[in-house]
Amino acid sequence: MSRILRIELRRSAALGAVLILLLAGAVLLYAAPQRWSSGWMSLAMIQREYLVLLWPLALAVGAWQARREHRSNVGELFASTARPRVQRMVPTLGAMGIAVVCAYLAVAAAAAPWIIDTAGYFPATVFVVAAVGALALVAAAWLGLAVGRLVPSLVTAPALAVAGIGLLMVIPVAVRRREWLALVFSPMYGMGQYTDYQTVYGRVSAAQAIWLAALAVAAAALLASGSWRTRLAALLPAILGAGLAIMIIPRNDEFLANPVDPVAQEQVCAEGSPRVCVSRVHSGLLPEAAPLARQALALLAKLPNPPTTVHEDTTTYYPDTSPPRQADVVLMPITVDKNGHLARKAEIVPTMLKAAGANTNGCGEIPSTSVSRAAEYWLIGREPVTEYAHEPAEDNAEAVKLWQGLQRLPEKEAAARVAAVRRAALACEDVDGLLTRSAR
């Protein structure tokens, strides 16, 4: 059996399939490395998202392979051999399955060196997400084999690929607001990255795995069956799998789009003091982030009762969460560039000092730009400059005026006023006027 499998691996479309899928997957990944450079989970999820192309291609590969007998005119000859059809089909199924799994893993392996230095957090979920992706490709290749054998025409393979991509593009629209339904039947749905802390729930992966495994079994049964009665029976596993998957998947109240992994958000601290912590998913960036964070703390030390700790700003917008507001903690924004390193380094310290380093996330109202900026630039020690291209011009003019006022004051009084801005911003209070009236 293993000898036949080896021959099949060499003589079937397996090698070509690996090359095509590897090329397509690697080109897609490296076309936009900033989408997955932030960590292993991002890579696993983005690779799942790119199934939008690989899944239809795997369908086409299967259908192409299934036409081999027809192409070589040996259908009659093989039908005359006194062996069950199953025995003849198993090596083909095995070869195609091995090929697409190898291709999926090879794409991941091609991307791994890019982030191996900077990605620190490697949860077991990565394996689950990748395994479901590989299973999706196996199901597609086997379904292609089954359909290709039923309709041995040259158009079958491209038509199947077109149908596959059409299905993946239509599913999110067709389910309307039942997003959980799209999550069951589309292996790529919901894999876009809104935050670096994103994850896929185990129950979602389980439901997807059940549906895809059932689809693969149904396709294999369809391929091996010789009569219409057994072909009809082959649909049974698919129906059962779909039903089971729909029962398992979280929905309605339990369903959450783009869930966040709390372990990935946990703060991991650098050695030495003052304390500088970043989220676990960015822990590989700690050596790059720590000097900047300490620079910001040093600038804040001008204030009375200055903050002593830096945490990463783990605010997410989908879903809406933000870290607690603490008086002794300054938040540090961390974004990852396409090489996996800290992005926009020059902007990090100024951003940390906005509103004198107060965390105003979740306050509802953001503090006045001019006051917040005047405090920021007083701490940095230079004149405020325009930060956003489309901001109203008077914002910065006002900030410069407030900053000049602070410069004219004795150092101690200015520090007290900036500290008052910080206190008020932390308490979600109005900061207007705090820089112009006496702190006492």
Partner 1 sequence: MRWLTLYLRSRRVPIALTASAGCTVVMWSLWSAFSNARDAGVPMVILTVLLLVAAVTATLAGPDDSLERTAALSWPARRAAHLLAALAVVVVLLLATLVTGARFGPAGLVLRDAAGLLGLTALGAVTIGASRSWFLPLGWTLASLVFSVSGMTSSEILTWQAQAPSNKTAAITAALLAAGGLIAYATAGPAQRAPAEAAL
Q: Please give the residue ranges that form the binding site for partner 1 (CB under 8 A).
A: 20, 24, 27-28, 31, 52-53, 56-57, 60, 71-73, 153-155, 157-159, 161-162, 165-166, 169
Residue in the block written with tokens 């540090």 = 332
CA distances from residue 268 to 194, 295, 438 in whole angstroms, order as listed: 22, 19, 40
Shortest approach of partner 1 to residue 20 CB, angstroms?
7
Shortest approach of partner 1 to residue 178 CB, angstroms?
17
Parallel, antiparallel, or unpaired: how do β-strands 329-332 and 275-279 relate? unpaired
φ/ψ (deg, to 5) at 309: -130, 145
Report which residue type is found at 354.
K
In angstroms, the CA 104 to CA 101 distance is 5
Parallel, antiparallel, or unpaired: how do β-strands 267-269 and 275-279 relate? antiparallel
CA atoms within 13 A on the CB side of 39: 25
How far from the centroid of its chain's Cα atoms is residue 389's Cα? 29
Closer to partner 1 by Cβ: residue 148 or 237: 148
Closer to partner 1 by Cβ: residue 74 or 366: 74
Shortest approach of partner 1 to residue 210 CB, angstroms?
27
Shortest approach of partner 1 to residue 52 CB, angstroms?
5
Closer to partner 1 by Cβ: residue 57 or 146: 57
DSSP code for 276: E
In angstroms, the CA 131 to CA 137 distance is 10
Closer to partner 1 by Cβ: residue 29 or 419: 29
Say what the alpha-carbon torsion angle 164, 167, 172, 175 is, to the nearest 10 degrees: -140
Closer to partner 1 by Cβ: residue 111 or 435: 111
Closer to partner 1 by Cβ: residue 35 or 282: 35
In angstroms, the CA 29 to CA 104 distance is 12
Shortest approach of partner 1 to residue 134 CB, angstroms?
20
Closest CA to 125 of 54, 48, 40, 50: 40
Shortest approach of partner 1 to residue 128 CB, angstroms?
25
Closer to partner 1 by Cβ: residue 11 or 345: 11
Shortest approach of partner 1 to residue 65 CB, angstroms?
12
